[in-house]
Amino acid sequence: MTPASLPSCPLPLERPTPITVMIVDDQRATRMGLSLIINRADDLKVVAEAVHGQDALDQLADLCQERQPLPDVILMDVRMPVLNGIDATARITQLYPSIRTLVLTTYDQDEFAFGALSAGASGFLLKDTRTAQLHQALRAVSSGDAILTPRITRELLNRHMLSPVSPQQHAAQRRLERLSPREREVAELVAEGLTNAEIAQRLVLAPDSVKKNVTRILTKLDLRDRVQLVILMRDAQS
């Protein structure tokens, strides 16, 4: 058989680089269960596990020293010995701003959610979250989005509705003046906890258009993610 007559073989498809995840939880059974669940998705991969916040920080420092890639997302428990998840999140956000942290806990209490968000977490989920929702949350956080339930968003805003007018409010309002009327409209809906798809439906826009608006808003306001936008909107309205 001549080379010209050889059957052509399709080239193997290039798989996208998976989103890498570190799990931080003091319960071994929980870490094992989460690892199995996350690794079911082809585009997600657990690359490290830590037993508490300090262990996570130590492992990240070792990766930096060895010039190894850092995880894209850290799935962080709240209540842990040595260093809890909220304090660990604050230090990780400061030292490794490229890493996104998603807090996953059994405790459905507002102080944990707000503590985590204030520390720099990009979202807050309960451990009974379904597999598909957890996968989607990890993807969203990795892409720079935020995971906020409507209840948490409403409470985040309501907590500051009774606060007295402050210089912080005026500063927030001045920052929002950088936005166009359409961008301000989108920002207000983000602050209400709506997803891009829901905003697109509300404003009769294409989802891609909403996504571009959100990206421009974050850039103009020098914000890291939607969580910071919600907080800024809260400050402007408080």
Same domain, 88 and 24: yes
Phi, psi (deg, nearest 5) at residue 87? -65, -35
Domain that holds residue 98: 19-147
According to DSSP, the β-strands at 100-105 and 73-76 are: parallel
How far, in Å, CA of 75 to CA of 81, rounded? 16
Tell which of 147, 179, 199 closes a domain: 147
pLDDT at 118: 77
pLDDT at 11: 56
The model's pTM is: 0.67
Same domain, 184 and 143: no
Band (154; pLDDT cuts 50, 70, 90)? low
Q: Is residue 9 part of a domain?
A: no
Same domain, 201 and 224: yes
How far, in Å, CA of 110 to CA of 97, rounded? 24
User: Which CATH number characterizes residue 124's domain?
Assistant: 3.40.50.2300
Percentage of residues in the chain with pLDDT exceeding 70?
80
In 160-191, which positions are buried (b, 16+ CB within 10 angstroms) versus exposed (e)?
eeeeeeeeebeebeebbeebeeebeebbbbbb
Number of structural domains (the chain) is: 2
